[in-house]
Amino acid sequence: MSDWEILVVEDEADSMELVRELLEYHGIQSVGATTGEEAIQLLQKMNPTLIIIDLALPGIDGWGLLNHIQKNPRLAPVPCVAVTAYHNPTLANEAIAAGFDAYFAKPIDATSFVRELQGIIEESQL
């Protein structure tokens, strides 16, 4: 896990801090972006192991960012995980159908979050 680099796209400072500190605690490097536009710029330079995307971003939202990633042959294989505070079962199904590899409702369960990310990354590397 120490060689992973995860892009965290989150516009709420508290949520960004929580996710990045949780990853750091497990020895996982991360880079943060607060908008979809900033994430797109960062993705031109990075090769992330996984991307965590808040669905409700200002400007280009999480759905638009996923669409951009899916259209880029270099980035399309990178697992993307949706995170949202506006959870409902329909939204979870829509996120998976759109191409997200997983869906997490806020607040994130710190006990299982990194373990689930590990499973998603390992499966994508098979």
Give per-residue pLDDT as tens, 82-120. Answer: 999 988 889 999 999 999 999 999 989 888 999 999 999
3-state SS assignment for residue 89: helix
3-state SS assignment for residue 117: helix
Cα torsion angle, 38, 115, 1, 67, sign = negative
> How many percent of the chain have pLDDT more than 90?
87
For position 26, what pLDDT does the model report?
92
Asked if residue 125 belongs to a domain, the reply is no
Closest by CA to 75, choosing from 103, 100, 51, 104, is 51
Other beta carbons within 10 Å of 13: 10
State the total domains in the chain. Answer: 1
Q: Give the predicted TM-score (pTM) of the model.
A: 0.95
Asked if residue 123 belongs to a domain, the reply is no
Query: Which CATH number fits the domain that encloses residue 91?
Result: 3.40.50.2300
Contact 82, 105 (CB under 8 A): no
Asked if residue 103 belongs to a domain, the reply is yes
**What average pLDDT does the segment 12-40 reach?**
95
The chain-wide mean pLDDT, for the chain, equals 94
Asked if residue 25 belongs to a domain, the reply is yes
> For residues 125 and 103, what is the distance between their CA atoms, to the nearest angstrom?
19
**What average pLDDT does the segment 39-65 reach?**
96
Residue 2, pLDDT above cutoff 80? no
Amino acid of residue 7: L
Asked if residue 38 belongs to a domain, the reply is yes
Asked if residue 85 belongs to a domain, the reply is yes
Asked if residue 56 belongs to a domain, the reply is yes
> How many percent of the chain have pLDDT more than 70?
100
Contact 106, 86 (CB under 8 A): no
Q: Which domain holds residue 66?
A: 5-114
Residues 6+ apart with CB under 8 A from 110: 22
Asked if residue 104 belongs to a domain, the reply is yes
Q: Confidence class of residue 126 from pLDDT cuts 50, 70 and 90?
A: confident
